[in-house]
Amino acid sequence: MNFAIVGCGFIAKKHAEAIKNIKGAKLYAVCDKEPELMQPYVVEHEAEPYTDFEEMLQNPNIDIVNICTPSGSHAILAELAAKYKKHIIVEKPIAMTIEDTDRIIKAATENNIKLAVVHPNRFRPVALKLKEIMDSGKLGEISHALCVVNWNRGQHYYDQSPWRGTKAFDGGVLMNQAIHNLDLLLWYLGNPMEVMSMDATRLRKIEVEDVSTGIIRFESGAIATVQASTTVYPRNYEESITIFGEKGTVKIGGTNALYFKDIIIEGMSEVEALEIKESIEKNPWGTPGHQIILSDMMESIRQDRPPIVTGEDGKTALSVVLNFYKSSKEKRLLTL
């Protein structure tokens, strides 16, 4: 199947690498406003370069469009791609408002095309194993969880492009970084019902939050605390999720959440827990999440089934972020 990438910046490289590693996939075309950014893909993949997105969409050989542009531009590009009947893989966050998200989902449904959102952290080996543990019921009733993203994005990170750190195109630590972890939390704990949050712009000169602490109450009754920041000195400090259940406590973490830090489960021996930890440590990154999402898109087209991470999944994670923002602004608890 033929892929086309729009937006040839940082994340496009991961999409191109994934396409290269998938049997039967080709990077057929690329599009960017800046022609020199497309050059590496023209050379390595013999991709056709386009500076005009709509012109690229008119090429009938393109099956799937990967949207890798600033977050605030996803909706307008996705709507257009759907109009030309291209299947869509859109980077996270799916969009920056619920209205834009609904426009994307509606366009995909009306044009009968597949829509996948790139939430790749689900496919880290440790995250998949934790999902298996959660689904097995071994932890019993979940009482609460703790989700932490204490990272560093210096001022130079925000200053590298005009869209970064803006309200309209990027959002702050919740919308850009912690949305990955929120997606995981929702995947593990189910429907969010209530949220409350406090955020601040403490150390970076940006329009959006660089520190945030929020609480989610899930339909199950479990409560999760989410603490996120990009202000940590001098570098990334911790990304983790800890689940506390009546029969177990499990923590995944590290500078990136790639490892089991604790596996304490009723009836599980220390040896067994150690074996699980070590099996993950052998290959903590596993197959890249981008590759899994892209190859799943090809399968979902072939089998005419929904992709592994749907537009609705993207919308749920976004809605928690937006309600955190609203709660913080209005200083009150919100029911979703």
Ligand X SMILES: NC(=O)c1ccc[n+]([C@@H]2O[C@H](COP(=O)([O-])OP(=O)(O)OC[C@H]3O[C@@H](n4cnc5c(N)ncnc54)[C@H](O)[C@@H]3O)[C@@H](O)[C@H]2O)c1
- Which residues of this protein are in contact with ligand X, per CB under 6 A? 6-11, 31-34, 37, 53, 68-71, 73, 91-92, 118, 120, 161, 176
Count other C-beta atoms under 10 Å from residue 36's C-beta. 8
Residue 81 Cβ vs ligand X, minimum distance, rounded to whole Å: 11
Which of helix, strand or coil describes residue 199? Answer: strand
Q: Which is nearer to ligand X, 181 or 300 (CB)?
A: 181
Give the integer Cα–Cα distance in Å for 134 and 238.
22
Q: Which is nearer to ligand X, 2 or 177 (CB)?
A: 177
Residue 114 Cβ vs ligand X, minimum distance, rounded to whole Å: 18
Residue 21 Cβ vs ligand X, minimum distance, rounded to whole Å: 17
Residue 115 Cβ vs ligand X, minimum distance, rounded to whole Å: 15
Q: Which is nearer to ligand X, 124 or 217 (CB)?
A: 124
Q: Which residues lie across from 240 on neighbouring strands? A: 148
Q: Which is nearer to ligand X, 214 or 289 (CB)?
A: 289
Which of helix, strand or coil describes residue 309? Answer: coil
Helix H or strand E encompassing 54: helix 53-57
Residue 141 Cβ vs ligand X, minimum distance, rounded to whole Å: 32
Residue where the block lists tokens 């973490």:
253
End-to-end CA distance of the chain: give it in Å, rounded: 39
Count other C-beta atoms under 10 Å from residue 330's C-beta. 9
Q: Which is nearer to ligand X, 31 or 139 (CB)?
A: 31
Closest CA to 72 of 109, 45, 49, 101: 101
Give the integer Cα–Cα distance in Å for 142 and 196.
20
Q: Which is nearer to ligand X, 17 or 266 (CB)?
A: 17
Residue 220 Cβ vs ligand X, minimum distance, rounded to whole Å: 28
Q: Which residue is nearest to ligand X (CB)?
A: 9
Give the integer Cα–Cα distance in Å for 311 and 116.
6
Closest CA to 317 of 132, 92, 147, 67: 92
